[in-house]
Chains A and B, each alone.
Chain A
């Protein structure tokens, strides 16, 4: 699943470790989500949405709608 996490993180000048701290996950988890190796759980996706102040459908693209 594609996502905008890397772009949003870069806009705030956060490192992967900074974002991982805010989400209470490991940096590897953030990296795995950004590189599409891992799709986050729904609770984590909502947490990411709340952190960036965006609805999750604008963060993640399941490629089925396009």
Chain B
């Protein structure tokens, strides 16, 4: 009789935390917009989508990384049904995943943030931001490999399946769009537009495959 509420509690807590975090982020963006620090109307659709994805990635990464410092919290987040404390190996994996997600969000937000905060963007600042992105990318790649090695075979299978589906679908769509664009039948997309679509699609497919395979 007590099983159902116990299983529901972690999910409700996570949902409540998500709502609070979303409210705080929304309020902060509203204040910055009102103060004239950022101009949302000046951002293109792909910039807005990239920032949204980046904020989600950073929030998820932060929550995951913070939870990895507490065995019980990490255990509940990983597996609400079982609720056992996480092992040291699981904590390390969780911490690495948190870092990978957080860095992905920072790297995605950085170009848009730089362009929003500095208008026009001076070349030295643009170069500094680019160097930071490259450094972050190298660190993130290293940690992605660590996550791959630390994960078990189901996790590796989900990562492989996601990569395969994304490649086959997106290369086909990219070809069709490029052909239509060449024939002046479709609007021109920038590489930033394409990257944002790719990232959004990747996250969607990753979630679907995780659920289908039983990882999430």
Q: Does B34 contact A (CB under 8 A)?
A: no
Which residue of the partner chain A has the closest CB to B216? A28
B153 at the interface (CB under 8 A from A): yes
B155 touches A31 (CB 8 A): no
Main secondary structure of the interface of B (DSSP, over half): helix
- A27 with B214, Cβ < 8 A, contacts A32-B154, A38-B154, A41-B153 known: no
Q: In this complex, what residue of A is CB-closest to B155? A: A26
What total count of A-B pairs have CB within 8 Å? Answer: 39
Set of chain A residues within 8 Å of B90, measured between Cβ atoms = 26
Q: How many interface residues does chain A have, given as a range?
A: 10 to 19
Interface band, chain B: 10 to 19
Chain B 78-106 near chain A by CB (<8 Å), digits 1 or 0:
11001010000010000000000000000
Indicate if the CB atoms of A37 and B212 lie closer than 8 Å: yes
The answer to whether A25 and B215 touch (CB under 8 A), given A15-B82, A17-B84, is: no
Q: Please determine whether A24 and B82 come into contact, CB atoms closer than 8 angstroms.
A: no
Per the 8 Å Cβ criterion, residues 1-46 of A in contact with B are 15-17, 24-29, 31-32, 35, 37-38, 40-41, 44
Q: Which 8 A-B pairs have the closest CB atoms?
A: A32-B214, A37-B214, A29-B154, A25-B152, A17-B82, A26-B152, A28-B215, A38-B213
